[in-house]
Structure 1
Amino acid sequence: MGVQLGDYIPKKIIDFDDLKGKRLAIDGFNAIYQFLSSIRLKDGSPLTNKRGEITSAYSGIFYKTIMLLENDIIPIWVFDGEPPKLKSKTREKRRKLKEEAKEKLKKAEDEEEKAKYYKRLSFVNRDMVENCKYLLNLMGIPYVQAPSEGEAQASYMAKKGDVWAVVSQDYDSLLYGAPRVVRNLTTTKDSLELIELSEVLESLKISLDDLIDIAILIGTDYNPKGVEGIGFKRAYEMVRAKVAKDVLKKSVENYEEIKNLFKNPKVTDDYSLNLRLPDKERLIKFLVEEHDFNYERVKKHVDKLYNLVISKTKQKTLDSWFK
């Protein structure tokens, strides 16, 4: 869900050429939800294997990763760890919305209506996430296990300069201090958008601290309702008038704790960003034999992946030789 800042911050339309040669940290959970929502059959139902297990996420990760490598972009997938306790209200709200969609799906009559409720039922479970990590491991693609919030970890890596930007549909990475956020990279329809934190703060004439306060006033995953009656414009006016903190301290329970989750999140330096050669045999077995993907298509893309990784690791060796 994330904080709703999209209508009030500057964005640039970019294309794949602008991302060439760059490492990008992809918010794994956010991307998986995108795949579950977009990779579907005509009636809106997700892709499944013969056992009825949803495979849309594996399709998205496999083909999207190869497409990014073809465009000279190295994706680093980042996965959530244990969520902060303050996120429990948001998680419960999402669970209820899915239950409502499940009941409405039973009553839906036409295909369009069914497709709408199928998308709302997108659900990421532990087995799916572990299979996504296993798939990336077989592909030789780096992934990072965050100790807590994936966006916080990805933002930390971007601040360190280990990656150029965070890829997410949400805007929360800005609150964690990510210098750049790229949107729509894991979708297929919309133009790529680049948001730069420095431009956001300069255009609004505020600090990162102020931006976090605005977010808490209008509502974050840690306080989803925000402060009643306050939207972005009023929150912005309060920050500019230097009264936001007083209002927040009086109106938002756990204000200091929420703010600290953005300013000092749990992160780790325990990760490697190196590409490895894919395990072609086990990769084909996982996708084709275990999850019923088309052999010819998978084999073609596995060979393509292998050649892409070979070329990139050779180039890295050459670059280090001439430095």
Structure 2
Amino acid sequence: MGVKGLTKLLADNAPKSMREQKFESYFGRRIAVDASMCIYQFLIVVGRTGMETLTNEAGDITSHLQGMFSRTIRLLEAGIKPVYVFDGKPPEMKKDELLKRHAKRNEATEELTKAVEAGDTDAIEKFSKRTVKVTKQHNDDCKRLLRLMGVPVVEAPCEAESQCAALCKNDKVYAVASEDMDSLTFGATRFVRHLMDPSSRKIPVMEFEVAKILEELEFTMDQFIDLCILCGCDYCDSIKGIGGLTALKLIRQHGSIEGILENINKDKYQIPEDWPYQEARRMFKEPDVTLDIPELKWTAPDEEGLVNFLVKENGFNQDRVTKACIFLVSLCSSYLNIFINHICHGFHVRP
């Protein structure tokens, strides 16, 4: 879910912190990608018509593989160096949010059954997407694919968003790519949306800079985190009756959630019982992340492994996979030549 309404709030109150960018403007940049978010998008969009999805001969869904393969090739063609980050164990604080999502999928499944019985194609399309869940198998499939392609994979100890942000804050990558705005709340220096959009629409990439957000709002990072908690995040409920704009005004007036709670009209605004906002704040400020990862390297593809996995096991077109392998090999040689050129001329390869 991320942070409710944060994009519009920033567009209205910190417009200089966000700007449209061309896909190609990230040439040569390392980008940390929230893999699970991408897989979810691929499962919803790629090859889906109503309840029908792309499958192999065994009946296993392959939409996530098609999407990940095509989009990764597209990134590499543009000179972008993706680093895919996968979720680890979800934090205890997110348990309630995950239960809500589970309940919503169950409701969608019931509505889908009714739609199928009624022959309502629009409703089938709508509710079938809401039943989609990224599974461990989907993640494992994509990890295997990316490693065969020679693209680095990072397995987060906890949440991918916070791990991506940690890589960015420590200059391991240039920016974080996701659709969840809470990457900013975790302190990602730069955050981009729509870089991984799987649809055929040409949507411009939107880049956010956290330093400019703080400058325009005249907030500290702590105040920005409190703003995001008040807007509504994955770790706790928000105060009923307070939306983004009201939250912004209250933080400006009182400086923190504690200051708001001391002065708020409790008859007007309903504060959740035993509201764990301090724990939510700690999750954003001190997430479970690691920087003890292997050096990020983009290597030559395992051509035989890719053919076996994509063509023989999952029914991909062999010519397409073979051409992709040739491209990946040539790309790897290009990266090596660029690196050698930088070393010879005393330059640093930028993240």
> TM-score of the superposition, structure 2-length normalised?
0.88
Contact 1:27 1:78 in 2 (8 A): yes
Deviations 1:165-219 (A, max 9, x none): 0001111011111111110011132221111111211222212111111111121
1:309 to 328, 332, 346: 332
Partner Cα distance (2:184, 2:223) in 1: 12
Tell me what 1:232 maps to: 244
Contact 1:168 1:184 in 2 (8 A): yes
Tell me what 2:268 maps to: none
Residue 269 in structure 1 maps to residue 291 in structure 2: yes
Partner Cα distance (1:261, 1:193) in 2: 26
SS where residue 139 of structure 2 aligns? helix
- Closer, same or farther in 2 for the Cα pair 1:111/1:317, shift >3 Å? farther
Contact 1:82 1:149 in 2 (8 A): yes
Contact 2:168 2:188 in 1 (8 A): yes
Tell me what 1:255 maps to: 277
Contact 2:39 2:138 in 1 (8 A): no
Tell me what 2:3 maps to: 3
AA matched with 2:313: E
1:99 to 94, 99, 106: 106
> TM-score of the superposition, structure 1-length normalised?
0.95
Partner Cα distance (1:116, 1:305) in 2: 37
Deviations 1:237-263 (A, max 9, x none): 110012542245975622221111100
Residue 161 in structure 1 maps to residue 182 in structure 2: no
Residue 87 in structure 1 maps to residue 94 in structure 2: yes
Tell me what 1:296 maps to: 319
Tell me what 1:201 maps to: 214
- Following superposition of structure 1 onto structure 2, how do residues 1-323 of structure 1 map, counting pairs within 5 Å? 1-4=1-4, 5-9=6-10, 10=15, 11-43=18-50, 45-108=52-115, 109-187=119-197, 188=199, 189=201, 190-223=203-236, 225-242=237-254, 244-246=256-258, 247=260, 251=272, 253-271=275-293, 272-323=295-346
Shift of 1:160: 0.9
SS where residue 239 of structure 2 aligns? coil
Contact 1:84 1:148 in 2 (8 A): yes
Tell me what 2:349 maps to: none
Identity of counterpart residues, as a percentage? 38
Contact 1:83 1:148 in 2 (8 A): yes
Partner Cα distance (2:132, 2:162) in 1: 23
Shift of 1:60: 1.4
Contact 2:23 2:195 in 1 (8 A): no
Name the count of aligned residue pairs. 322
Contact 1:248 1:255 in 2 (8 A): no
Shift of 1:276: 1.0
Contact 1:275 1:313 in 2 (8 A): no
Shift of 1:300: 1.7
Partner Cα distance (2:102, 2:325) in 1: 36
Which runs of no fewer than 5 residues in structure 1 stay unpaired? none
Shift of 1:289: 0.9
AA matched with 2:107: E
AA matched with 1:274: K
Contact 1:166 1:180 in 2 (8 A): yes
Partner Cα distance (2:152, 2:104) in 1: 33
AA matched with 2:337: K
Using the TM superposition, name which of 210-219 and 74-83 deviates more: 210-219
Partner Cα distance (1:29, 1:280) in 2: 25
Partner Cα distance (1:178, 1:315) in 2: 28
Contact 2:189 2:210 in 1 (8 A): yes
Contact 1:3 1:170 in 2 (8 A): yes
